[in-house]
Structure 1
Amino acid sequence: MSKDFRSVWTFQGLPGVVLYESMMDRERTLPAHIHRKDVFQLILSGDNEVKNEISGQKYRLRQGTISLCPSGMALSGRAVGHTLSLVVPSRGPEVRGSGQKANVNQRAVKSLSALLRDLVKERYPEAQRVLFQQAQAYLGNLGLAVPSPEIQPSRSQQEQRLHRIKTHIERDFSQQIQLESLAGQVGWHPHYMQKLFRKRYGITPRRLQSQLRSERALELLSSGQPAAEVAQAVGFCDQSHLIRVFRQFHGVSPGAMMSRTSNPLSALSV
């Protein structure tokens, strides 16, 4: 086993669904990050610990454990061992209130199920069954999403300001964002703004920006763009800066990640 091996599968016909398999024989620190999608995890081996950065609660994820990390949760911790992580689009308000049904391809769902079955064959059959049920229920819910207007709860002035800051970062993450300018938009001191932002979302504005850059970098690299061009496109100083931050969030270098990315349905017309 390599020191830090990760395989990645995407599924044509299931936009936004990604399956990661990571095997680490040494403990790795997980930086604070916000889950922007729902993540199912099956711990095949190892003893991991994660911390909810908003509530401060800690969780132990041991061998055979299945967990669901919903979108919006901010986590940090440590990881070691063999883990399967299934990332699926959130079925939250942005899906239910979109006015459209999600395009879930049943052929792709079957391919995903078959791959999961092969990966965990003869390991924790009960956990395997539960994982299939939960994951397919999620995918099925997306496919049957009924359009309905979402009633936005009233927000306090502080919540509105924090949301405005977060939206600004999500929109302009590839740009150079000065904390002083960000705080000035809502009339706060930078230190006060960072304190409230971390309390609300579990990570700092700068950490969120780095995470968004890393996620966008993965998308661009997957499309075949050279690393040097990707680094410039997402706002990193240079390629070495991209590699350093990418490794923090994804556990491996961009080159290693791309060499292990595959699409089981790439040859099918779906």
Structure 2
Amino acid sequence: MSGDAEVRAWRPGVPGVVEVLHAHFPTHAYPSHTHDAWTVLIVDEGAVRYDLDRHEHGLAQAQVSLLPPQVPHDGRSVRPEGFRKRVLYLAPDRLDARLIGAAVDQPEYVDPLLRHRIHQLHGVLRDGREDLEAQSRLLFIEERLQQHLTRQVGAAGAAGPPAEEGGAGRRRDAGVAGRRWDGGIAGQLRELLDERVAEGISLEEAGRIIHAHPVHLVRAFSREYGMPPHRYLTGRRVDLARRYLLDGRPAGEVAALAGFYDQSHLNRHFKKVLGVTPTRFAAS
């Protein structure tokens, strides 16, 4: 079997769907990164193992995985023949941000109806002719995902008080979601990076704004998010490059727009995350 990845990606004209991705990765393993969208993932061939917020998970063909925005994850095949997956990237406001912690604690669901609905939506989006049907199917998918997340929060609450109050378990429904508005050093640095994805910011300037030593910034950020600031920013730039490519902009122009030094710099990091070059991604 060829070791080349096969990727097809596009941005449908359906409100709430940021991107659709169909991919076959015979050998590719992608590094830890984040998205600013909810990632709804199903596997059609093989099985996937991934770390989410530094906890290992697995995804088989019977399951649905929901990865929350802004939480680091990676991915690799369980089997030597690789895996085939389909992904919906949903805008962050399509699901309640207060439930991000529930998705971190339990990102996989064995739900045949939900999986079938996602499969149907992919079919409609692939054809690209029935926007109203796609919108309807998306609403039912989001409703069911919201129900899963809400039940998880309720079950965790019934099990006892949160961990910080002496209860057992990994109650992160408030903590992880709160990272978006965290007033701490790591959260403040992430907000600066998110505001300046393309232009970037030096650690010295960030330190002056936050009133913290640059070394402390790096340590706090790495401890909170499981990756150093430069890797987080690179991942955000790759995400931004994907959006520009799907808008039809040429790769050479995208490199500058997304904050990379040149097209070679973009190619290297893009292929590390997506398994294909920006040109092949755009051609898909």
Say yes or no: TM over 0.5: yes
Q: Which has the higher helix share?
A: 2
**Is 2:142 aligned against 1:138?**
yes
**Is 2:47 aligned against 1:47?**
yes
Q: Which residue of 2 aligns with 1:253?
A: 277
Assess, with a 3 A threshold, how the Cα gap between structure 1 residues 158 and 59 changes in structure 2: closer, same or farther. closer
Distance in 1, Cα, partners of 2:187 & 2:6: 36
Q: Which residue of 2 aligns with 1:32?
A: 32
Contact 2:10 2:246 in 1 (8 A): no
**How far 1:111 moved relative to its partner?**
11
- Aligned amino acid, residue 44 of structure 1: D
1:213-228 aligned at under 5 Å gives the runs 213-228=237-252
**How far 1:176 moved relative to its partner?**
4.2
Assess, with a 3 A threshold, how the Cα gap between structure 1 residues 158 and 190 changes in structure 2: closer, same or farther. farther
Q: What is the number of residues matched between the two proteins?
A: 220
After superposition, what is the alpha-carbon deviation per residue over 1:47-102, rounded to whole angstroms, capped at 9, x for unaligned? Answer: 3211123xx2101223333211122321123233111111112235679xxxxxxx
**How far 1:22 moved relative to its partner?**
0.9
Of 223, 226, 234, the residue aligned with 1:199 is 223
Contact 1:40 1:135 in 2 (8 A): no
- TM-score, normalising length: structure 1: 0.69
Q: Which residue of 2 aligns with 1:113?
A: 120
- Aligned amino acid, residue 36 of structure 1: D
**How far 1:13 moved relative to its partner?**
3.1
Structure 1 consecutive aligned stretches of length 4 or more whose deviation exceeds 6 Å: 132-135, 139-142
**Is 2:71 aligned against 1:73?**
yes
- Which sections of structure 2, spanning at least 5 residues, go unmatched? 99-116, 127-135, 147-176
Distance in 1, Cα, partners of 2:59 & 2:118: 27
Q: Which has the higher strand share?
A: 1
When structure 1 is superposed on structure 2, of 10-19 and 230-239 the one drifting more is 10-19
Contact 1:75 1:202 in 2 (8 A): no
- Aligned amino acid, residue 213 of structure 1: R
CA RMSD, 1 decimal:
3.5
Contact 1:11 1:112 in 2 (8 A): no
1:68-217 aligned at under 5 Å gives the runs 68-79=66-77, 80-90=82-92, 91-92=94-95, 113=120, 115-116=122-123, 136-138=140-142, 159-217=183-241
**How far 1:10 moved relative to its partner?**
2.5
- TM-score, normalising length: structure 2: 0.66
SS in 2 for 1:11: coil
After superposition, what is the alpha-carbon deviation per residue over 1:102-157, rounded to whole angstroms, capped at 9, x for unaligned? Answer: xxxxxxxx9983543798xxxxxxxxxxxx98873317999xxxxxxxxxx999x9
- Aligned amino acid, residue 226 of structure 2: G
